[in-house]
Structures are given as structure tokens and as C-alpha cells.
């Protein structure tokens, strides 16, 4: 059969290297490159990126040098030490534990859980949305009913109930429990975009080209909604920081002896602490605010870059 093509084209194997080199010179930059360029052009975005990445690296590395078991040990001598006193940079809480050290270890725990939650719930939500949106008919109908049911469940309450049921839970089980309830938003978004994408002719063309459904979903459709996925995942990460810290604040997240930004903020539940000993909770609150704002800002920049690359596409 190849003979058929050789016969009707002047191009032969001899030209292969030359032609593909010529083509390489004309190749178009990838979309990852476009997003990176957008970051370089946007100074505040670069600052946000440096803050987030730098901070995460800092707490991950710094917590390695802190003896986690000692952080939560009571030290009555430092009872509510003010910031700066007794060599404690940010003071100490009612048990005389260093706020600065708790903050570092707590950040690592909270960010780690948020990252884990984002990875698990987004992966699940993306797959769910892609499959539900691509296959219409009974598969979609069934998946939609499950989705409806999950949406009806009072999330925070269910998580609290589950946390009390499971006896020896740790950061991993906690992340898994959260993941059960936090994939819906992503899946809904991805499903509606997948529905629109599946209608397009390139999907039909892939079908007639003999490509399997699995490949069409993950290799053809998914790259086309990749910018949506990246933006959504980034924003979910910002949101997910609030999930664990919120539950820990209520007392149903990480165990009390494990430092978390949420447990630190729950120091504010005591009317004395909230005004008199503000250093026990305010740094953690401010840290969450700055982190969430920076991460969301990064998400916004990526969204803008993604839109711009699409606009560019329409122009030529």
C-alpha cells in the first residue's frame, strides 16, 4: 500500500530528515510556554508565585529541623509569653508552647493535607466529569444521580460524623475523608465542558480513526480543557486550605496534639485569648489569608493566560 503513496508523491525516504528539520524550525510554542511568559510579564503574579512556592518550601524544610514531639510539650515557664519575650519570636500559648514553631509545623500539616486533598479530589472529579460528560445515556444518568445525592449531603456534618466514627485517624485518613466530599464542584465543571467538547467533530473524527473511547477522553478531550483543569485545581487548592483548618478549628480535624493552623485559630474561642493574647491565633489567621489570596491570584493569572492563548488562536 505504501507504494501507492510513493507513486503519487515526490517525497521519498531520502527527504525525511531534511523536511522534518525544516518543520521543527517552524514549530509553534506549546501552551505551557505561553503561561510561563504571562507570569514573567506580570510582576504581582510573579511575587505571588514566589511567596507561595517559597513559603511552602520553607515550612517543609524548616519543619524537618523542629522536633515535632517537643513542639506540643507543655512548658509552664512560658505561660502566654508575649512575642519577643523569653527568646520566643511569636510568643507562646497557654501551655507555654512556642507559637512560631507551632506555626511552621502546623503550616506543613495544613498545607500538606490541602495539597493531598486537591490532588485526590481533583483527579477524581476530573475523571468523573470527563466520563459522565463523554458517555451520554445510562452511564451519565447514573453518575448524575450519584452526584445529586452527594450534593444533598450536608458536607461539614458528614465529615464530622465520619471523623468521630473512625477511631485512630491521622492526616492520611483525614485527607481521604475530605476527598469523599470535595470532588463535586470540579466534576460538575468538567462535565459541562466535556459535554460541549464531545459534540465537536474532532471527537467524531477520532472515532472514525479507530481511537478507543478511553484514549479519546484522556488524550483528545482532556488536553482541550487543560486550561480549565489547571485553573480549577489552583483555585481548589486555595479553597481546600480552608477545609482542614476549618474542621480543626471546630475541633474535628487533626488531633489536638498535632499542630494545625486551624487548631491555632481555635485559641480565639477563648474570650481572653482573642483580645489579650492575640498572638496565639492571629498569625495563623493572617497566614491563611495571605496564602489563599496568593494562590487564587496565581489561578487568576493562569486563567488570563489561557484565555489569551485562545484569543491568539482565533486571530490567525
Q: Which of the residues 224 through 253 are near other proteins (CB under 8 A)?
A: 224, 226, 235, 238-239, 241-242, 245-246, 249-252
196 binds other proteins (CB under 8 A): no
Long-range CB contact pairs, 57-63, < 8 A, 24+: 59/104, 59/107, 59/108, 59/111, 60/108, 62/104, 63/104, 63/105, 63/107, 63/108
83: DSSP letter: T
Find the binder of other proteins among 20, 40, 64, 67 (CB under 8 A).
20
51 binds other proteins (CB under 8 A): no
Query: What part of residues 265-294 is at the interface with other proteins (CB under 8 A)?
Result: 265, 268-269, 271, 274-275, 278, 281-282, 285, 288-289, 292-293
Number of residues that make up the chain: 316
Residue whose CB is less far from other proteins, 230 or 292: 292
92 - beta bridge partners?
Answer: 98
Q: How far apart are CA 254 and CA 187, in angstroms?
A: 27
Q: How far apart are CA 235 and CA 89, in angstroms?
A: 32
Least gap, CB of 191 to other proteins (angstroms) = 15
Find the binder of other proteins among 81, 98, 104, 220 (CB under 8 A).
220
67 binds other proteins (CB under 8 A): no
Q: How far apart are CA 274 and CA 111, in angstroms?
A: 24
> In which element (H, E) is residue 307 found?
helix 282-315
Draw the binding track, 138-177, toward other proteins (x: CB under 8 A; -: no contact): -------x--xx-xxxxxxxx-xxx-xx-x----------
Residue 301 three-state SS: helix
Q: How many residues bind other proteins (CB under 8 A)?
A: 87
Least gap, CB of 108 to other proteins (angstroms) = 18
Amino acid at each position: 500500500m505504501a507504494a501507492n503513496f510513493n507513486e503519487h508523491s515526490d517525497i521519498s525516504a531520502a527527504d525525511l530528515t531534511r523536511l522534518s528539520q525544516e518543520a521543527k524550525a517552524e514549530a509553534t510554542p506549546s501552551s505551557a510556554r505561553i503561561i510561563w511568559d504571562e507570569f514573567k510579564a506580570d510582576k504581582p503574579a510573579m511575587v505571588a508565585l514566589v511567596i507561595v512556592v517559597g513559603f511552602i518550601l520553607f515550612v517543609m524544610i524548616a519543619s524537618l529541623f523542629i522536633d515535632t514531639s517537643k513542639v506540643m510539650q507543655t512548658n509552664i515557664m512560658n505561660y502566654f509569653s508575649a512575642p519577643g519575650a523569653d527568646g520566643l519570636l511569636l510568643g507562646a500559648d497557654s501551655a507555654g508552647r512556642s507559637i512560631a514553631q507551632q506555626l511552621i509545623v502546623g503550616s506543613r500539616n495544613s498545607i500538606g493535607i490541602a495539597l493531598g486533598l486537591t490532588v485526590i479530589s481533583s483527579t477524581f472529579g476530573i475523571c468523573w466529569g470527563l466520563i459522565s460528560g463523554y458517555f451520554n445515556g445510562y452511564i451519565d444518568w447514573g453518575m448524575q444521580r450519584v452526584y445529586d445525592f452527594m450534593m444533598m449531603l450536608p458536607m461539614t456534618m458528614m465529615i464530622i460524623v465520619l471523623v468521630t466514627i473512625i477511631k485512630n485517624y491521622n492526616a492520611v485518613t483525614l485527607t481521604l475523608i475530605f476527598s469523599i466530599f470535595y470532588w463535586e464542584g470540579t466534576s460538575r465543571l468538567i462535565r459541562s465542558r466535556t459535554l460541549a467538547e464531545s459534540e465537536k467533530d474532532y471527537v467524531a473524527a477520532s472515532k472514525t480513526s479507530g481511537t478507543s473511547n478511553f484514549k479519546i477522553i484522556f488524550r483528545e478531550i482532556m488536553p482541550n480543557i487543560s486550561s480549565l483543569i489547571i485553573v480549577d485545581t489552583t483555585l481548589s487548592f486555595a479553597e481546600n486550605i480552608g477545609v482542614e483548618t476549618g474542621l480543626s478549628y471546630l475541633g474535628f480535624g487533626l488531633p489536638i496534639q498535632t499542630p494545625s493552623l486551624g487548631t491555632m485559630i481555635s485559641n480565639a474561642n477563648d474570650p481572653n485569648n482573642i483580645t489579650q493574647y492575640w498572638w496565639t491565633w492571629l498569625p495563623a489567621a493572617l497566614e491563611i489569608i495571605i496564602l489563599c489570596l496568593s494562590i487564587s491570584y496565581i489561578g487568576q493569572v493562569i486563567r488570563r493566560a489561557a484565555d489569551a492563548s485562545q484569543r491568539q488562536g482565533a486571530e490567525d
